[in-house]
Amino acid sequence: MSNLRSHAVTIIPGDGVGPEVALATQRILDAAAARAGVAFDWEEAEAGASVFLKGDQTGVPQATRDSIDRTRVALKGPLETPVGFGEKSANVTLRKLFETYANVRPARELPGIPSRYKGEGVDMIVVRENIEDLYGGIEHLQAHDVAQALKIITRKGSEKVIRFAYEMALREGRKKVTIASKANILKFTEGMFKNIGEELAPEYAPIEANHLIIDNVAHQMVKDPAQFDVIVATNLHGDIISDLASGLIGGLGFASSANYGDGVAIFEAVHGSAPKYAGKNVINPTALVLSATMMLRHIGELDLADQVEDAVLTTLEEGKALPQDVVRQKGGDVEAAVSTTGFTEAVIENLGRKPTSVPAAASRPRPSAQNPHKRWPDGEARRAEVGPATVIGIDIFAETLMSPAEFGTKLAALAGPEFELRIVSARGTVVWPKMSPAFDHPGFFRSRFVARDKSKVVTDEALFALIARVTGVATWFHLEKLRSWNGEEGFTRAQGE
């Protein structure tokens, strides 16, 4: 009977260059594991383009889901997803299927890798909310030329990822967490995220917490990136600024990533499938190898993670065996670059060695990426806390080419004794009763009806009757009840309202 410590891991080679970087990473991990009395039980699984081609529109077959459900940990090469058409991203599907709500992307200066910020001490982590926001992919064509996407932000989802960021900062000996949002414009969605970050901050002293508008975060990352420690952001913003962060330290070829949930973790390179390089044995596997070190720490193999990371750092530091993208950045002749296989073998040869120009991996705090397992408020408790909702009106979105004046006048006459037409807006700007100075007709309007008598309960029957009357004037395609809690309106005003 073997005395090896064994870990079952789902390996998803992926598309394009994915199988090459996945194989390189497996070889390095297996070589390091053999030295340490560890073994990996790799369960190979499919996702992405190959699955789409078989007619599975999810991109993630049941066999892959079952494997991850068994192993609870997956290492994944890049997956290809059509841009602007076709099926949903298999990457996003995997994250959402297993509720991996925290996406963690470190960006730390690496030895031997040129960048504009070399020597400035760039060492940050972007924590991106991974489940909600516009990445819900809830989109509709409201008219032939009018598209809508719903941005979903929840208190529970925001609190989970922000707590994760604070907890990680504590474990890693970090000093500051920056909450990044667009709360100056999106008052309810991004505003909720910002407010929760600030509400939780006192629980995590001595971590310094601050808030920056996401525009300023991008500006400051380029101006003075070393000021950042941990940044936590909503899904779309986190996706964008984490790619920006990778550009500060040499590019996507070095950008590692981990997706953490309550029970499952998925580790992947940030870069794409790069199909034009597939099968040429030239791709840099560093990003996935460094992602694998995050996986090793997650499963408790801290020494093994340090050894693999140090071998990568030593290889980059020495500069004797560098992939094409690194040689190109250094201004060298790419003919002198090593292949993917050659770089892999160099890293394996350097197992057991430590870099000299940067601290060895073991000199840094050794974090556990486990979820802090806070108790999130259940729905009933939250409802009791905020009180019941009161319906005070409705927004009706309708398709029409009528002028704002004609449309508003007709709807105002249909409001009836229970409602008044407060405004008509186009793309969030009031166009009736006062016309916008520079109005360009988009082909649809939002009409806001509110109760005339605030003391009376607005019933669904009254709303249905109003909708039926509006239907006689224009084709409606979207409805939103206007609600308030304890007298506070649960909807934003239009520009100019």
Question: 48: which DSSP letter?
Answer: S
pTM above 0.75, yes or no: yes
- At residue 334, the pLDDT reads 81
- Catalytic hit among 160, 182, 194, 354: 182
- At residue 365, the pLDDT reads 74
- At residue 88, the pLDDT reads 74
- At residue 2, the pLDDT reads 58
Domain 388-489 CATH (choose: 3.30.70.1570, 3.90.110.10, 3.90.226.10, 3.40.50.300): 3.30.70.1570
Residue 239 is a catalytic residue: yes
Are 278 and 20 in contact, with CB atoms under 8 Å apart?
Answer: yes
Identify the architecture of domain 116-248 in CATH: 3-Layer(aba) Sandwich (3.40)
Residue 374 is a catalytic residue: no
pLDDT in tens, 304-340: 999 999 999 999 999 998 888 888 888 888 887 899 9
3-state secondary structure of 390: strand
Residue 215 is a catalytic residue: yes
Are 455 and 381 in contact, with CB atoms under 8 Å apart?
Answer: no
pLDDT in tens, 391-416: 999 999 999 999 999 999 999 999 99
CATH topology of domain 1-101+266-370: Isopropylmalate Dehydrogenase (3.40.718)
**Pairwise CA distance, residues 132 & 152, whole Å:** 6
- At residue 243, the pLDDT reads 95
Q: Residue 136 contacts by C-beta under 8 Å, 6 or more apart in sequence?
A: 150, 152
Looking at residue 265, its amino acid is A
User: Which parts of the chain have pLDDT scores under 70?
Assistant: 1-2, 82-86, 366-384, 386
- Catalytic hit among 96, 101, 135, 166: 135
Looking at residue 58, its amino acid is T
- At residue 373, the pLDDT reads 47
- At residue 475, the pLDDT reads 94
1-101+266-370 with 116-248: one CATH topology?
yes
Residue 182 is a catalytic residue: yes
- Catalytic hit among 41, 69, 215, 262: 215
Question: What ranges do the domains of the chain cover?
Answer: 1-101+266-370, 116-248, 388-489
Q: Structure tokens of 446? A: 């939002």
